[in-house]
Amino acid sequence: MKIIASNFKTNHTRKTTKEFITNTNSFLLDNDIKNDVYIFPTATALDNFNSVNNLIVGTQNAYYVKNGSFTGEIGTEQLDEFKIKTILIGHSERRHILGESQKEITYKYNYYKALGYKIIYCVGEPLEVKETGMTETLGYIWNQFDGIDLEYDNLIIAYEPVWAIGTGKIPTSEDIEIVHKKIKKKIKQPLLYGGSVKTSNISEILDIPNVDGTLIGSGSWNVEDFKEMIKITNSK
């Protein structure tokens, strides 16, 4: 069964997050949809959500500590309060805007792996690398696997070209197929595609070989659109 994930980034409040999750939960129940559906709200909107087992709420980020003096960060003490056991690691905005290095990402990965978290690990090349060709693109992605245990069972990988995130631009189906095929040779876990997925293109993207689901930002923030994309995901 294909997977669908929504990354809220810095959008939605506690109130609208709760409404979104409650609405999505009812939709899954009413339509008996069993696909794994992930939602990553902002840290301020995390809570104990009473939802079906296949609706999983995760954190967009957390530091690799239980607690301590790390201003602006949250640790596992805060995640445990809400029984959050799922984390996004390596998202391009954390790498390229917030400046997380591969070394820090590796610490984070190993910390959350040791605690058995479900990790959605994101990789993807910037435009200047894509423009130099497929060999360079793959080389860039392999470097993002440095220090990352690809044998970890509780792992999902998301291939998200940086230049496709939030831009409305997506790679050709052929390019997605090539990259996914190459990554799949290295992993047995699910592989998602992310980058400008929306209601109008999700069906085509899900039909590409080795695409096990999608990770969606802006296209998923309206709950009606998200539910439509869940429906399409369920039909595959």
Q: Which of the stretches 41-49, 61-69, 192-200, 226-234 binds ligand PEP when contact is defined by CB under 6 A?
A: 192-200
Place of tokens 């709760």: 18
Of 7, 76, 199, 233, the one binding ligand PEP by CB under 6 A: 7
Contact 45, 17 (CB under 8 A): yes
Q: What angle do CA 195, 19, 159 make, to 5 degrees?
A: 15
> Which one of 93, 100, 125, 160 is the catalytic residue?
160
Q: Is residue 190 near ligand PEP by the rule CB under 6 A?
A: no
- Measured between alpha carbons, how far is residue 40 from residues 125, 161, 187 in Å? 22, 19, 24
Q: Is residue 215 near ligand PEP by the rule CB under 6 A?
A: yes
Q: Give the residue from 227, 211, 208, 207 showing the smallest Cα distance to 219.
A: 227
Give, as ranges, the residues between 143 and 182 that touch ligand PEP (CB under 6 A).
160, 165-166
- Rounded to a whole number of angstroms, the minimum distance from the CB of residue 228 to ligand PEP is 15
Q: Which is nearer to ligand PEP, 9 or 231 (CB)?
A: 9
Q: Which is nearer to ligand PEP, 155 or 197 (CB)?
A: 197
Residues forming a β-bridge with 122: 158
Of 140, 217, 226, 230, the one binding ligand PEP by CB under 6 A: 217
160 is catalytic: yes
Q: Which of the stretches 30-38, 43-51, 112-120, 193-201 binds ligand PEP when contact is defined by CB under 6 A?
A: 193-201
- Phi (first) and psi of residue 40, to 5 degrees: -115, 90
Side-chain-side CA neighbours of 74 within 13 Å: the count stands at 18
81 is catalytic: no
Helices 223-234, 14-30: inter-axial angle, 10-degree rounding: 30
**What is the rounded CA–CA span in Å between residue 193 and residue 177?**
10
Q: Which is nearer to ligand PEP, 10 or 101 (CB)?
A: 10
- Rounded to a whole number of angstroms, the minimum distance from the CB of residue 32 to ligand PEP is 27
Q: Is residue 219 near ligand PEP by the rule CB under 6 A?
A: yes
**What is the rounded CA–CA span in Å between residue 134 and residue 140?**
10
Tell me which H or E stretch contains 16.
Answer: helix 14-30
- Rounded to a whole number of angstroms, the minimum distance from the CB of residue 60 to ligand PEP is 9
> Which one of 12, 91, 100, 180 is the catalytic residue?
91
- The amino acid at residue 101 is S
* Contacting residues toward ligand PEP, per CB under 6 A: 7, 9, 160, 165-166, 194-197, 215-219
| Active site residue ranges | 91, 160
